[in-house]
Structure 1
Amino acid sequence: MTDIADAPVAASAVDLFCGAGGLTAGLLAEGLPVAAGIDNDAACRFPYVTNNEVPFLERNVAEMTADELEELFTPEVPRILVGCAPCQPFSSYSSKRDDDRWALVERFADLICEVRPDIVSMENVPRLTKFENGSVLRNFVDRLREADYHVSADIVCAADYGVPQKRNRLVLLASRHGPIALEEPPVKVEEHVTVAQAIGDLAMIGAGETDPIDELHRSASLSPRNRDRIRAAKPGGTWRDWDEELVTDCHRAETGKSYPSVYGRMEWNKPAPTMTTQFYGFGNGRFGHPEQDRAISLREGAILQSFDKSYRFVPEGAKIHTKTVGRLIGNAVPVLLGRAIARSIICHMREHGIA
């Protein structure tokens, strides 16, 4: 995969729900200028600004007006509005309409119809296609089409775009200038980036330890019982491989038998599983290191989200709150998927003479 532009494109993007900046980093890497990032999570400010050098506005998108959004765009160039509305309301663990965050998709549609940017991109979990029998996504698409946008929406695997992770996401693109779609996957299945290729060269650390050279390369501690469990875990295996005395009570229950990946190890020769906001915990999924007796570190999780190894999430010397950093990393749009979105937008702009 190569950059399609030698110089920045004449355009102006605003990143709603920008988080730690994964999508913005992807846009910038392909030469697509970003005017601002917006998120109501104050913890996003440092990584977003420090790594991307783009202004950050701490604001609840639900309370933003069209006029405020208009002012953020650079005048007299094509305007691009991108965003990843919080996906937790649509996850398989929630899907509750009484979660106020689901309404942010509706607010996103409001702002698009009021501001009328040239191009729009939305990234979210595939389950959004089924939430409320698909009505939330269907209404979003219908509103954009009624506003004269051409819309495409596809469920893609991030590994097909170079991300070392089996992360399926819904990517929607819309344009007022003509049909638009995400580029065809550039990476074949047999060429997927593996866990070994992504994090195999990082320093060895133990559970509860931190690499003295990289403070983000730190792993959560393990209880004696969980240390025994990870030692019994096989890469790609399940808790069913363990001796009976190590099996948890929840797994013995009928409801726990359908979660074989919990307390699992990753495999060196395959992409990682989806990074959640709790990837740093061995008991939260298949987040055990393939070889070392520990959960993957915060840095390893960030790399598996295709962030650069030098991407900073906290100021130097500041206390690292694992839960906060884990949330920032797990919620991010993988940078390489962001680059694919950017390339698709730039190609579309050139095809329609607006780049």
Structure 2
Amino acid sequence: AGIGITIAVAQLHIVLGGSPSSSVVDNLRALPAQLAHPQVAALAMSALTLSVLLAWPRIPGRVGQILRTVPGALVAVAAATTTAALASLTLPKVDLPSWRSHALAGLPEGPVLGIAAAVLTTTLVCSVQSLLGAVAVDKLTARRPAQQGRSDLDRELLGQGAANIVSGTLGGLPVAGVAVRSSANVHAGAVSRNSTMLHGVWITVAALLMVPLLELIPLAALASLVMAVGIQMVSLHHIRTVTRHREVLVYVVTTLGVVVLGVLEGVVLGIAMAVGVALHRLTRTRITRSVGPDGVHHVRVRGQLTFLAVPRLSRALHLVPPGAEAVIELDGSFMDHAAYESLHDWQSAHTNRGGSV
């Protein structure tokens, strides 16, 4: 959600005909002035792109079914580019660098500690962003019958590391998996890693053979497309889920941290808040065990049952003799997955040994 908001706010400036800065806070401060003086041509191309993007999946009948084999995003950008060219509109367009002036990278200069810190920071940011993107895509595609399993995160990092070595050697930018293009890929119907590799092939073909055509595309059309994908990354269903599970504080802190400070800092803040919330819940958790007159073992949990309380819960459960009758009483409004798994595994093992729970 934090990445989506960051993307959407930055692209909104281009949609209105301006230029965004690298800081989300600065972009928000400059937004009122940008809204007061929009560039009409850029706004018109953005509106056209969004209209086509929203209308394309809703074309009825067999005609619509055939047309939808072409991704709506591609049609929307093509429509805006054609309109801008025919109307001879003066507005910022894609400006690709020239291959003629490219120079290979040299060895870095400066203090060793400074270079090491730069390398480590780039590694952490790219790794965190790539893994977050992979997990987000897994969630988007989890319910598809044709999905080929979850992402291999080790392979993700190995591929990213190899790509960064090659990119750095050629003088390119750092490489990372990003959620915005992955989300667009999923919405276009992607079901396997072949779609990602094909994405790389298309970029290579476009960069080598289609530069004159790409430089006709209005930046406002691309910005509106990317802004729509960024907005879709803020899931209302997910917000309702974390609110119901009393995790909304972690969600808000992580989102604001990513928006204001950056991806790495936001994730670290989110983890710190999650640990703080779990510790707060743990301080109110009491686990007791007793044996009734009828020989039934009672294990009572009062308060929130999180992963931090699992060791105490396991000790209490293992004191119940094999084959005994046990009653587990949970008196709390929250139980996380680690606690559930521990309880479920013990229940299965205890009943398999002749006991009852």
Task: Give the TM-score range, shorter chain.
Answer: under 0.3
Q: Which has the higher helix share?
A: 2
Q: Which has the higher strand share?
A: 1
Q: TM-score with structure 1 length normalisation? A: 0.25
